[in-house]
Amino acid sequence: MANDKKNTKDKKPKFSPYWIYGIIIALFVGFHLFNNNTYQEGNKTTPSDFFKFLEAGDVEKVDIVKNTRVARVYLTKEAQEKEVHKNSKPTAFLTSTKLPNYKFEFGDLQNFENQLNEINKDLNTKPIISFDTETNDWGNLLMGILPFILLIGVWIFIMRRMSGGAGGGAGGQIFNIGKSKAKLFDQNTDVKISFKDVAGLEGAKEEVQEIVDFLKFPEKYTTLGGKIPKGALLVGPPGTGKTLLAKAVAGEAKVPFFSLSGSDFVEMFVGVGASRVRDLFKQAKEKSPSIIFIDEIDAIGRARGKNAMSGSNDERENTLNQLLTEMDGFGTNTNVIVIAATNRADILDKALMRAGRFDRQIFVDLPNLTERKAIFEVHLRPLKKAKGLDIDFLSKQTPGFSGADIANLCNEAALIAARTNKKAVEKQDFLDAVDRIVGGLEKRSNLFSVEEKKTIAYHEAGHAVVSWFLEHADPLVKVTIVPRGRSLGAAWYLPQEAYITRTNKFLDEICVTMGGRAAEQIIFNEISTGALGDLESVTKKAKAMVMIYGLNDKVGNITYYDPAGENGFVKPYSEKTAEIIDNEIKNIIETQFQRALELLTTKKDLLDKLANRLIEREVIFKDDLEELLGISPFKKSSTIVLEEE
């Protein structure tokens, strides 16, 4: 993995765009200083005052700038010493040129000239009068074009950002915008991942093994008249190892591997996506046999023709059309195989999935117990484990964890062990890491009042007691009133691994979740806001029962499941059905709440015992639960797992 990181590092542009900005700003500031001082035009005065100065013989020179109707007045040395001109001395900076003492607007030139000549003829020492003195034209010109220079700078900057990191070694040029952004892993940047780094996923590995074979020995298949598949679609929840599997295929087949994400095609300019697709396939064909891996293909592969209102959709559709064309276009003998990954195969365009494009769909599901064990073995390899660490136990404690979760868990456990200066990572570190990952960070510093602590303890004890006595509820592992993440306390269960869920299980789970609020009702005769998470969860479950799985008699065997959002804002049922749905959801939750109330009323002594123990110890485990509540009538499987505690 470290190798990957090294390979994928973007090359830094040689010339940072910030330099352009620096230079422009320096020019601007420098010019301003220069301009202000060299061409300082003196203090403002009026024509009548000027004529007074002239009559007094104070003026040495007058510059008349016709186009701006401004005259600049230079005083004689002696005049500058006079009291009246005290404040007119210019401050020279960065220049040796003589600067004017005054400036004024003369209005009509002819009039001004006449008046000037009139006074001039009576003077003994006549001032020098120069017409059309050069204005600061260069300065004006520069000031005029500066905004454009700035705009161009900004534009270059944006273009560089957008095309930065483009493939083909030409990153950072404006014209690379239509080039594919795929990262290339080839013999120079060896893909070191092989099938042995991918734990579990036996079925998926078998399927992709065939792709490796196609790439390595194409003749084996083509001589018999078979065609090499063009693409495989890896479908599964996040973190289950789809990217890893695709990399392993490239590593095993030892062919170049172009990796990019669906969103890399999408840009704000029309036509860029399609052009990137073309470029990607062109590059891949040049390096054939090769693999193109498109992660998160749903970013471009969503079914076409929806949300016709939005313009960005058109661009996505163009990109998808181009992808379809390219997959059709390259002949079977080009040996380019496209592997794509998605979490949402249900929303993909049908045209993508037809045979001849992604002919193979490979499901990469969450790992089961044995697969989790294998994944643990891979990720425990680099860790210093305590002697006798039981991997079976760890795999049993982590149902529902994906490969990425397990990788994260191992790392988290190592960090926890390091924090306490341990020499090796122990079982308890892993259990703490599970708590940390599932529940969030422990917040021991949260201060509760005695009353609040009591409420939380009864709430959690309510969940625990109800689950202890319901057949289909998940087995309880521990109960705590130490706040973690968003929750103030928690009852931890060990979910059973099952592929189907029956109505009874749904109902028991809802009843357990309502157990917290029911306990509060029984003990305090009032309910609190502490059940928000519970209410969210039961509403979601009841809604799923009624609207998705057809588990409700009144609504019947019907589903309103709409994963692709095809219905938009339109409800696919009538107002009458909507009313039935609302009532049934409410009914399910209410019935289970009453059931929890009844059960807890009969077991109130146990509820008290458990809540008091919780207040005393804050965390209680299965052993304490058995001591207080007796052996659970139904929790056989939990006993097997937790005996190792």
- Contact with ligand ATP (CB under 6 A): which of 64, 198, 464, 491? 198
User: With binding defined as CB under 6 A, does residue 412 bind ligand ATP?
Assistant: no
Give the SS3 label for residue 171: coil
Maximum distance among all Cα pairs of the chain, rounded to whole angstroms: 127
Residues 391-410 that bind ligand ATP (CB under 6 A): 403-404, 407
Alpha-carbon distance values, 361 to 201, 230, 353, 615 (Å): 14, 12, 8, 53
Residue nearest to ligand ATP according to CB distances in the complex: 403
State the minimum distance, in angstroms, from the CB of residue 477 to ligand ATP.
25
What the block records as the tokens of 419 is 């924090």
> In the complex with ligand ATP, which residue's Cβ is closer, 222 or 361?
361
Q: How many residues bind ligand ATP (CB under 6 A)?
A: 19
User: With binding defined as CB under 6 A, does residue 242 bind ligand ATP?
Assistant: yes
Give the SS3 label for residue 643: coil
User: With binding defined as CB under 6 A, does residue 290 bind ligand ATP?
Assistant: no
Q: Tell me which long-range contacts 531-535 makes (C-beta under 8 A, separation of at least 24).
A: 531/459, 533/486, 533/487
> In the complex with ligand ATP, which residue's Cβ is closer, 5 or 486?
5
> In the complex with ligand ATP, which residue's Cβ is closer, 259 or 638?
259
Q: What is the 3-state secondary structure (H, E, C) of 304-328?
A: CCCCCCCHHHHHHHHHHHHHHHHHH
Residue in the structure block whose two tokens are 């749905």: 581
Q: How far apart are CA 249 and CA 215, in angstroms?
A: 10
- Contact with ligand ATP (CB under 6 A): which of 295, 326, 426, 429? 295
- Contact with ligand ATP (CB under 6 A): which of 208, 211, 212, 244? 244
- The stretch among 27-35, 234-242, 426-434, 588-596 that binds ligand ATP (CB under 6 A) is 234-242
Examine residue 483 and say whether the peptide bond preceding it is cis (omega within 30 degrees of 0).
no
**Burial zone of 474 (CB within 10 Å; 0-12 exposed, 13-18 middle, 19+ buried):** buried
Q: Strand 476-480's sheet: what is its strand order?
A: 490-493, 476-480, 619-621
Q: How far apart are CA 171 and CA 12, in angstroms?
A: 9
- The dihedral through the CA atoms of 363, 368, 374, 376 has a sign that is positive
x/- site string to ligand ATP, residues 331 to 360, per CB under 6 A? ----------x-x-----------------
User: With binding defined as CB under 6 A, does residue 70 bind ligand ATP?
Assistant: no
- Give the active site residue among 252, 296, 460, 509: 460
User: With binding defined as CB under 6 A, does residue 233 bind ligand ATP?
Assistant: no
> In the complex with ligand ATP, which residue's Cβ is closer, 199 or 389?
199
Residue 460 is a catalytic residue = yes
- Contact with ligand ATP (CB under 6 A): which of 203, 238, 630, 633? 238
Alpha-carbon distance values, 374 to 240, 318, 370, 497 (Å): 13, 42, 6, 17
Contact by Cβ (8 Å): 284, 258 = yes
User: With binding defined as CB under 6 A, does residue 378 bind ligand ATP?
Assistant: yes
Count other C-beta atoms under 10 Å from residue 464's C-beta: 28
State the minimum distance, in angstroms, from the CB of residue 239 to ligand ATP.
5
User: With binding defined as CB under 6 A, does residue 262 bind ligand ATP?
Assistant: no
User: With binding defined as CB under 6 A, does residue 375 bind ligand ATP?
Assistant: yes
As a residue count, the chain comes to: 645
State the minimum distance, in angstroms, from the CB of residue 388 to ligand ATP.
23
Q: How far apart are CA 598 and CA 604, in angstroms?
A: 10
- The stretch among 198-206, 268-276, 429-437, 547-555 that binds ligand ATP (CB under 6 A) is 198-206
State the minimum distance, in angstroms, from the CB of residue 510 to ligand ATP.
30
Q: How far apart are CA 72 and CA 564, in angstroms?
A: 76
State the minimum distance, in angstroms, from the CB of residue 341 to ligand ATP.
6
> In the complex with ligand ATP, which residue's Cβ is closer, 5 or 350?
5
- The stretch among 233-241, 319-327, 450-458, 528-536 that binds ligand ATP (CB under 6 A) is 233-241
Binding-site residues for Zn(2+) sit at 459, 463, 534
- Looking from the CA of 596 toward its CB, the CA atoms found within 13 Å total 33
User: With binding defined as CB under 6 A, does residue 203 bind ligand ATP?
Assistant: no
Contact by Cβ (8 Å): 219, 345 = no
Binding-site residues sit at 236-243, 459, 463, 534
> In the complex with ligand ATP, which residue's Cβ is closer, 146 or 391?
391
Beta-carbon contacts of residue 356 (< 8 Å; ≥ 6 apart) = 230, 327, 328
- Contact with ligand ATP (CB under 6 A): which of 17, 127, 167, 241? 241
Pick from 129, 130, 100: nearest CA to 40: 100
- The stretch among 115-123, 193-201, 523-531, 622-630 that binds ligand ATP (CB under 6 A) is 193-201
> In the complex with ligand ATP, which residue's Cβ is closer, 341 or 523?
341
> In the complex with ligand ATP, which residue's Cβ is closer, 60 or 295?
295
Binding-site residues for ATP sit at 236-243
- Which residues form the interface with ligand ATP (CB under 6 A)? 198-201, 238-244, 295, 341, 343, 375, 378, 403-404, 407
Which residues have a catalytic role annotated?
460
